[in-house]
Structure 1
Amino acid sequence: MSRTKPLLSACLIVFGALFCLLYPMLLIWPSGWAWHPGSPAANDYFMMICFIYITLGIFMIRAAKDPDAHASLIWFVIWSSVAHALVMAWESFRTPMMMGHLTGDVPALVIIAGVLAFLMKRQPAPHPAAI
């Protein structure tokens, strides 16, 4: 077993739990997490993306039991987080009311992607017999 596997599992649980707590974070600090003004429930898109992240968080927590078996899910989390962070950074500079994202979801997603990518790169390649 890799020495970083327990750390990867712990990070999947912590980050997955944070994804599951997206809705309360949106209520507490909307300028750093919300994508529109007003109540979170006032926008259908907002609720859709919120529940997509909650679902992803649940699967991240489940993947923590065996990260090797869920490598494609973990890489999806990494690359989708990078893509989301890039889009939100662009929108933050393009639209002044979105500047809060530069201190909210943009750095959070970059940190999550960076930590998970680092830990995934530290995992040994699966043995051919295990495939």
Structure 2
Amino acid sequence: MAAGSAGKISSDFAIRVFPTVIRVIAIIFIAFFCSAWALRTAGVVQPGSLSYALLRWGHDQDATENMLCSIYIVWGIFLWFAADDPAKNWLFINFTIVANVAHCVTMVVMAIVMTGEHAHLLGDIPLILVCILPLMVLWLPVRRQITSAEGRTQQ
């Protein structure tokens, strides 16, 4: 059974599915950012199109966008390997969650405040949430199990 008492996810279920969830998120990171980089580089993303609104942040930001793509592609690769042993990679998983929440909050504010960037509220911001929320929900019971088994407290 996936849910324990009071609707909480059981530790056994979370531990069993967590590596798969990490790998799915890794694939999403790699696929989305490789595709975004390739489409922009190939000139498929044209001003005025939906793809432009979703895959471009501001104007003439090629350097920033290429940097973000490269970081998230590498991040996805490291997530894939972190799935082999989440207990050993707990700090990287914590960082992944916190950094992406911070990124998402920043993007929400920018999408609301910056003219012409509202499409991000319907595109890449929900994509971040779809990736990070399941990771957060499953990570809490997994981390609790890891720390109790090792007799330590992780912040």
Structure-1-length-normalised TM-score = 0.84
| Structure 2 CA distance for aligned equivalents of residues 50 and 120 of structure 1 | 25
Match of 1:87 in 2: 106
For residues 30 and 68 of structure 1, do their structure 2 counterparts lie closer, same or farther at Cα, with a shift above 3 Å needed? farther
Q: How far does the alpha carbon of each residue in 1:10-54 deviate from its partner, in whole angstroms, 9 at most, with x for none?
A: 11111111111213146373422331347xxx7111111110000
For residues 69 and 92 of structure 1, do their structure 2 counterparts lie closer, same or farther at Cα, with a shift above 3 Å needed? same
1:10 is matched by which residue type in structure 2? T
Match of 1:5 in 2: 15
Give the share of equivalent positions with the same residue, in percent. 24
Q: Which runs of 5+ in 1 are unaligned?
A: none
Q: How far does the alpha carbon of each residue in 1:42-99 deviate from its partner, in whole angstroms, 9 at most, with x for none?
A: 7111111110000100000001111111111111111111111111111111112111
| Structure 1 CA distance for aligned equivalents of residues 141 and 55 of structure 2 | 31
Q: In terms of Rg, which structure is larger? A: 2
RMSD in angstroms over aligned alpha carbons? 2.3
The list of structure 1 runs, each at least 4 consecutive aligned residues, that deviate by more than 6 angstroms after superposition, is: none
Structure-2-length-normalised TM-score = 0.72
Match of 2:54 in 1: 32
2:74 is matched by which residue type in structure 1? T
Aligned with residue 30 of structure 2, among 16, 20, 31: 20
1:50 is matched by which residue type in structure 2? C
Match of 2:97 in 1: 78
Q: How many residues align?
A: 128
